[in-house]
Amino acid sequence: MQVKLSKKATKHIQKLGLRKQFEKQLALFLSNPFHPSLDFKPLKGGVKGLYAFRINDQYRARLIKIDEHTYFILVVVTSIDSLHPGDNAG
């Protein structure tokens, strides 16, 4: 499996000081996307078609599936924004 990051996601990770946590969770995602600590799931509502996995208790990565083996991380959002996607532009 392959995961690519948008420039926006990369900036969010750096700005929020999430690099170590993100790298750990990304490695876990690459080896087992359905590991319970990731809470990987498809999103619903206004962001249907996107997926999310947990970086830590506060932040989640939002991603889109490009093909069977490739995901693209669009942004990093707070867990609250991920639970209420209509309240967040993004």
Torsion angle in degrees (nearest 10) through CA of 48, 50, 51, 57: -90
| pLDDT above 90 for 84 | no
Half-sphere exposure of 43 (CA within 13 A, CB side): 25
Task: Give the model's pLDDT for residue 87.
Answer: 43
Task: Give the model's pLDDT for residue 88.
Answer: 44
Residues above pLDDT 90, as percent of the chain: 81
The residue-averaged pLDDT of 72-80 equals 89
pTM above 0.75, yes or no: yes
Segment 28-49, tens digit of pLDDT: 999 999 999 999 999 998 889 9
Confidence bin at 89 (pLDDT 50/70/90)? very low
